[in-house]
Amino acid sequence: MRRRIRSFAALSTFLVMTAAGCSGDDGGSGGGGTSGTSATGGSTTAGSSTGSPTTGSTSSDTGTSTSTTAGSSTTAGDTTGTTTGGGDVDPFRVTELYVRDPHFFADVSLLGCNDVTDLEILGMKGVNPSFNEAMTTDVDDDAGSGNPDGNLDLSFMLLFQPLDQAGSGPFDFQRADCKVPASMTVCSPRDGATVSSFNYTSMMDATCLEADPAHLTNMYSPKPNTVTGDCFSSTGDVLVLQLGDIELPLTDAQVAATYDADPADNFMTGLIVGFLSEADAAVATLPQSIQDSTGATFVADLLPGSASNCAGHDDRDDNNGTSGWWMYVDFKAERVPWTP
């Protein structure tokens, strides 16, 4: 990661999909339960007995639609589309992002071991405040020079090819370059960005995705979104978060959100779910600014359950015998102009 925003801002951009109370009870430790997603007239299951989220066939009032499985990550640069959405690509930019579970803990100067997920005190910004500041401001360029470069500091896109609100199809998730100001932004592919590809299914008056209670810590509030209404849900696959030179893989990842209208201009009540293995978290190096402010070196150092984390509780889960953390992240997105 080359960009430095504020004390915890680089952490936020680094951990866009990851996500109190030291006495919280994480039912996910040692096994997953079933995370259910249901549609009117049928059901989809997001999760098996081990807690791995998936999406299967669903039926709704309009008939039956079946999702398929996508499974690839490529490099941006060959995306086709139009400059205003529609056509080949319907582009949506993530505008709000909130890690809900697990939370991040670090030793903070004057505060000791503290939940830094929503921290905003004495000029310090935790993960969620920094996420949302980075998505609306241009503080620094990619080289970390401290000078604005004309692009918002953090932009993620969902690119539907195109969006079918009565059926199914593919979409990509990737970093992008989006011009300032945020209210008038135009986005384009980010050079060298990793593209995570999914298939999705639209549902009517359904529950598209919800958290598995076995993965959640009771004391964390608010809880992750439950995606209902006219909405879409993706298949389970790998979502790679590329930030600087670091790639953070979330396995069995799913993305879902509620449509605001037909055609949709906004995705409301969005939810992203994915599993971060303890092994991957243990080798993902934090930016130097975060190391300096927290004393943590790797992502795992900030997650309860890691031997190097200061919290007194364990948020780790099990996914088919693999130790790690199920990450739940709420989001909203809006349609923006897209220049391929």
pLDDT digits (tens, 9 = 90+) for 265-282: 999 999 999 999 999 999
Q: In this structure, is residue 174 part of a structural domain?
A: yes
| Separation of alpha carbons 123 and 61, rounded Å | 51
Q: In this structure, is residue 44 part of a structural domain?
A: yes
**pTM of the shown model:** 0.78
Kindly state the DSSP code that residue 177 receives in the 8-state scheme.
E
Q: What's the pLDDT score for residue 297?
A: 87
Q: In this structure, is residue 251 part of a structural domain?
A: yes
Give the mean model confidence (pLDDT) for residues 114-136.
Answer: 84
Give the mean model confidence (pLDDT) for residues 328-334.
Answer: 96
**CB neighbour list of residue 182: distance below 8 Å, 6 or more residues apart:** 95, 135, 136, 152
- Domain limits for position 117: 9-335
Q: What's the pLDDT score for residue 142?
A: 74
Q: In this structure, is residue 4 part of a structural domain?
A: no
Q: In this structure, is residue 289 part of a structural domain?
A: yes
Q: In this structure, is residue 1 part of a structural domain?
A: no
Residue 61 CB neighbour total at 10 angstroms: 11
| Closest to 276 (Cα-Cα) out of 10, 5, 3, 15 | 15
pLDDT band at 140 (very low <50, low <70, confident <90, very high): confident
| Separation of alpha carbons 306 and 300, rounded Å | 6
Q: In this structure, is residue 293 part of a structural domain?
A: yes
Q: In this structure, is residue 2 part of a structural domain?
A: no
Task: Report how many domains make up the chain.
Answer: 1
